[in-house]
Chain A
Amino acid sequence: MTTTAAQTPRTDRPAHRRRHSRGVGRGAGPLTYVGITVLFLIVLFPVYYGIIGSFMNTQDTNSYPPALWPKHGIHPQNYSNALDIVPLGRQYLNSIMQTAAITIGQVLTSVLAAYAFVFLPLRARNFWFGVFLATMMIPYESIIIPNYLFVTGLGLSDTIAGLALPFLASGFGTFLLRQSFLAFPTELRDAARVDGAGHLRFLWSILTPLSKPTLAALSIYCALSAWNQYFWPLLITTRSEHQTIQIGIGQLQSSDTQDPGMVLAGVVLALLPTLLLVVFGQRFIVRGLTAGAVK
């Protein structure tokens, strides 16, 4: 179907633009510049203020009319203040462990399932694949109550296991990898079989290395959504040293709204990994996310 989105080759762009210019032979008009600049200023303002504000002291953030840049000097101590009020360092670690557990778990279970769907003889294949697809239609919030009762009943509140367990499999991930495996050249599979490679051997030393781009896209997609989770971590953690950074900055905000600079410092800390990912790993993100549009 719409494989268009997923297969957008980046290298296309310059060629595309060159041809564009030849075809019409005119640059963008002044209206285009006005439009893009206005949208730029509005859309990027929260980003600007979030970062700049994290270095401003209360003299600037609480002045009226407000300061748009630090008039009273740069205040990096906002960051240490934020770390003092909420154990953000500890929460950072929790977020990293939760994200790692979910990402590794999801990729692992998805690789195995997708392998079965593509390379193994499977009775009622369509039925089982339907089961996997069905999981993508259930909104997580509609089953959060029994999950909460179950996980807290196991005594797993305030643990990484409690944060990660419900998310260790993914219908989307299985679907994505299945599509990628289906495109795998059968000659390679046959050659590996002739050489005596069993299923696990083939899966581990031939298939996964050759599926790296898809695996990278899926991992980034998983990691982003795990890192950004809010509802479940809010329910399953009660004490601040067990909470994730996302919950932590929410607490920071409700704990002290008199010092916005300090609150914003917490935001920037929580934002850092994903911001770096978007700045440097955009290519993979685009691939991972547009793959979702292929359904």
Chain B
Amino acid sequence: MAMLYLLPALAVFGVFMFWPLVKSIIISMQGTDIIGRPGGFVGLEHYRHMFSDPAFAKVIGVTAGFTLLTVLPSILIALAIALLLQERIRGLRFFRSAFALPFAFSVATASVIFGVLYNPASGVINGLLSYVGIGPFGWLTDPDMALISVSLATVWMQLGYNLLILSAGLGAMPEDVLEAARLDGATGLRLQRSVVIPLITPQLFFLIVTGTIHSLQSFGQIYILTKGGPENNTTTLVYSIYEQAFAYNNSNFGYASAQAMVLLLVVLVITAVQFGVLERRVFYR
């Protein structure tokens, strides 16, 4: 009888997760027929093509760059804010609520705002920089800058969530430990580095792992801001999957699925590392 209670969820998982997983593997070994549906067995052809395709090598490079430029910067800025908000400052309540606001933004709403700010002609960022005599920059059109600009917007999008998690961790800090450290003469940065940071390693580690997975899955900001360009410099793995399968009526489902399997593998490895490391290396009290 218990199975009856599991059935609704299991049915959804079966139809929309586990079967598609099998199907993805199958499609990654198929070509595309004339009406744009997957068909015809091609074996490992897509994989062979993928690993010899310089365009795909570039996709992996861009994905790695995007991850590096988003995950740690966003966590570090959030950590700085979270630590400052632990101080006894006037207007603390106001600052706390204000810094939570970015969290209300979806990828789409934040991306559109950043698109307006980045606008080379009328954008506020170039405008403000003109006061100090820098620029103007083609934030999203300059091949050297586009990835940085999209990453910057993504850092902002992640900030709210990181801040929530870190603030919760800092708020749950055992007061007696802090007290003891202070009595031993630890203050300021020394207190932060030797006592506070080690105590929130679980939260930091959690954010690094989830942040990395989240970054790997990013799509909306690239679609809205750059469409993968200029010169494919912002074409990440997920965007590449989209482009191969869905953009310009490509219907290259087989090749896109092979790339999707790479994404799946990377995320699975990161998750495995999370479970492996989490148990041993991270400080729990």
Query: Which residues of A are in contact with B by a Cβ distance under 8 Å?
Result: 1-2, 4-8, 12-13, 16-17, 19-21, 23-24, 27-28, 32-33, 35-36, 39-40, 43-44, 46-47, 49-50, 53, 61-66, 68, 108-110, 112-113, 115-116, 120-122, 128, 131-132, 135, 137-150, 165-171, 174, 227-228, 230-231, 234-235, 246-247, 249-250, 252-253, 257, 260, 263-264, 266-267, 270-271, 274-275, 277-279, 282, 285-286, 289-290, 292-293, 295
B64: interface (CB < 8 Å): no
Contact, CB under 8 Å: A230 / B223: yes
Cα separation A28 to B86 with both chains bound (whole Å):
10
Of B54-62, B77-85, B143-151, the segment with at least 4 beta carbons within 8 Å of chain A is B77-85
B165: interface (CB < 8 Å): yes
Contact, CB under 8 Å: A116 / B6: yes
Contact, CB under 8 Å: A113 / B175: no
Using Cβ atoms and an 8 Å threshold, which residues of chain B touch A174? 9
Q: Number of B interface residues, CB 8 Å? A: 103
B12: interface (CB < 8 Å): yes
Which of A46, A112, A128, A174 has the most B CB atoms < 10 Å from its CB?
A46
Contact, CB under 8 Å: A293 / B224: no
Main secondary structure of the interface of B (DSSP, over half): helix
Candidates B12, B77, B102, B260; contact of A141 at CB < 8 Å: B260
B195: interface (CB < 8 Å): no
B281: interface (CB < 8 Å): no
A137-B113 contact given A12-B171, A143-B20, CB 8 Å threshold: no
Contact, CB under 8 Å: A141 / B217: yes
Which of A61, A142, A246 has the most B CB atoms < 10 Å from its CB?
A142
B267: interface (CB < 8 Å): yes
B44: interface (CB < 8 Å): no
| Chain B stretch 132-168: residues in CB contact (< 8 A) with chain A | 156, 159, 161, 164-165, 168
Contact, CB under 8 Å: A138 / B21: yes
Contact, CB under 8 Å: B88 / A27: yes
Given contacts A2-B203, A32-B87, A138-B267, list 13 more A-B pairs with CB under 8 A.
Answer: A28-B88, A44-B99, A139-B216, A142-B263, A168-B8, A169-B9, A246-B109, A250-B108, A250-B223, A250-B224, A267-B113, A270-B106, A290-B164
